[in-house]
Structure 1
Amino acid sequence: MATATHNIVDAYNNFYTGNETEWRMLGAKSKAENLIEVCRAIQPAKVLEVGAGDGSILHYFDELGFGEELYALEIAESGVSFIKDRKLSRLKEVKSFDGYHIPYADNSFDLVILAHVLEHVEHERVLLRELKRVAKYIAIEVPLDYRFGVDKRMKHFLDYGHINMYTPTLIRFLLQSEGLNIEADKTSLTPIETVKFCEFKVLKKPKTITKNLKIELEYRIKKFLGSILGKNKTEQFANAYTVLAKRSEKDLQIF
């Protein structure tokens, strides 16, 4: 069984210090809403989030009543501590793990959540096989980093720990080639308020009327063009892809 290398564990161990709580909570709100939307048809009772970070998505699951019992696994000790300190009413257990081996028995959960994690994972298929071992349904969200010439911006993405690039098509191929059936999916743009927070508070760029209007106009143009040009164009413009997959009866695996 693969395990996360020491340098990766060290990089994330002290990652969740509380300095960026507002930023993470803002991003987590749309992620939680996307995940709840694609899972609407299954109404899971027992939910595990793998790579739960500081628990910001779990916070919204708890607040919105998603899942009767919530569980969390996180590679970073600082993240585990942060999640515990939240004292979420539906959270039953939080554990640290090695990045690949899930310390629960087969079919322990109705649903496993993997939100903005897969782009950080060295051995994606190893982790996916563990997810489908412990749950019938898997909900995944990934950022859509891929654009033409993305290799010219390698340092930018590596600084965020993004070692994998995805498009909706590539994620669907990955999941289906691992014996998972696509049940529901959606693409989404980064919300306007999140873009503004990043620009003006995180990146500390000057806040101007022109910049505000540019952010709002770009968002609305992409939404409009996607609505009239169809799915391919919508996926091209999107910033995130959220998908619900179900373990197939044959549990096909391609190695």
Structure 2
Amino acid sequence: MLTTDFKTAYQNFYTNNDVAWRMLGAKYKAQNIIQVCESVKPQKVLEVGAGDGSILHFLDHHNFAPEIYALEIAASGVEKIKGRNLKSLKEVQVFDGYRIPYADNSFDLVILAHVLEHVEHERLLIRELKRVAKNIVIEVPRDYKFGVDKRINHFLAYGHINMYTPTSLRFLLKSEGLEIAADKCSVISPEVTLFNNYINRKIKKSPIKTLKVKLEYQLKMIIGRLLGKKKQEELANAYTILVRKSDQEVKIF
């Protein structure tokens, strides 16, 4: 169960007014989820840590699954989700952060998007995800990169208490008896960067600054295509992975 301090910190997390920012980020997160889950064709989906339902909004719009369920630790988030009136949403409820209130194998797919970096006891949650669904899709930010030591306070301010690389996340999931089915590295879209710069950070708009952001994005994409997956992982801002239950359990001594 979540500690009291941890749960209190997120209780009113979704009562502020940064709706446009959340929706913009969610658009790309949903695209990543849809892309890596092409082989699944889920009928019944659960999103754990669904926030304010912004990702669910886009999954619903794309008819991702006939039945979608959601869990969130913050009551404010649950109310936001209910207010969206999503056609595919069957149930949304508050949970304690670890115990998923559904029976074994209840879902075709469970989604954990930008949640694991916030979780105190990550393996406990992963085991619950594995219990309720055959397929799990996880997306995390790639915080761990050059210069990370100088940005620790920045990440902590966002509640990021864990850091991952694609390699470290794959190892974590494999050590929990999960098999990798598909994955994707993604670089922050210029649309997102420009919104963050001009709206969130209130940097004065400039055609030169805008062009620089777009050129940097294109350069990263070209370098990634030329140098392959390892370079793509190095340049990525986020990593999305689809895993499945393995027939061969891993024993941890």
TM-score class, shorter-chain normalisation, is: over 0.9
Cα distance in 2, alignment partners of residues 81 and 102 from structure 1: 19
Shift of 1:163: 0.6
Cα distance in 2, alignment partners of residues 233 and 210 from structure 1: 27
Shift of 1:229: 1.0
Shift of 1:252: 2.7
Corresponding position of 1:185: 183
Corresponding position of 1:22: 20
Computed over aligned residues only, the root mean square deviation of the Cα atoms, in angstroms, reads 0.9
Cα distance in 2, alignment partners of residues 107 and 19 from structure 1: 37
Cα distance in 2, alignment partners of residues 253 and 180 from structure 1: 12
Corresponding position of 2:151: 153
Cα distance in 2, alignment partners of residues 76 and 18 from structure 1: 13
Corresponding position of 1:103: 101
Identity among equivalent positions (%) equals 62
- Report the TM-score, using the length of structure 2 for normalisation: 0.98
Q: Deviations over 1:121-166 (max 9, x none)?
A: 0111000000000000000000001112312211100000001111
Unmatched segments (≥5 aa) in structure 1:
none
Corresponding position of 1:75: 73
Shift of 1:18: 4.5
Give the residue type in structure 2 aligned to 1:41: S
- Report the TM-score, using the length of structure 1 for normalisation: 0.97
Cα distance in 1, alignment partners of residues 53 and 205 from structure 2: 30
Most deviating of 148-157 and 19-28: 148-157
| 3-state DSSP of counterpart to 2:105 | coil
Corresponding position of 2:164: 166
Cα distance in 2, alignment partners of residues 116 and 63 from structure 1: 20
Corresponding position of 1:201: 199
| 3-state DSSP of counterpart to 1:186 | strand
Q: How many equivalent pairs are there?
A: 253
Q: Which runs of 4+ in 1 moved over 2 A?
A: 250-255
Cα distance in 1, alignment partners of residues 38 and 223 from structure 2: 27
Corresponding position of 1:215: 213
Shift of 1:5: 1.2
Give the residue type in structure 2 aligned to 1:219: Y
Shift of 1:250: 2.9
1:92 and 2:90 matched: yes
Cα distance in 2, alignment partners of residues 45 and 254 from structure 1: 33
Shift of 1:42: 1.0
Cα distance in 1, alignment partners of residues 108 and 178 from structure 2: 15
| 3-state DSSP of counterpart to 1:155 | helix
Corresponding position of 1:64: 62
| 3-state DSSP of counterpart to 2:124 | helix
Unmatched segments (≥5 aa) in structure 2:
none
Corresponding position of 1:252: 250
Corresponding position of 1:132: 130
Shift of 1:109: 0.4
Cα distance in 1, alignment partners of residues 40 and 251 from structure 2: 24
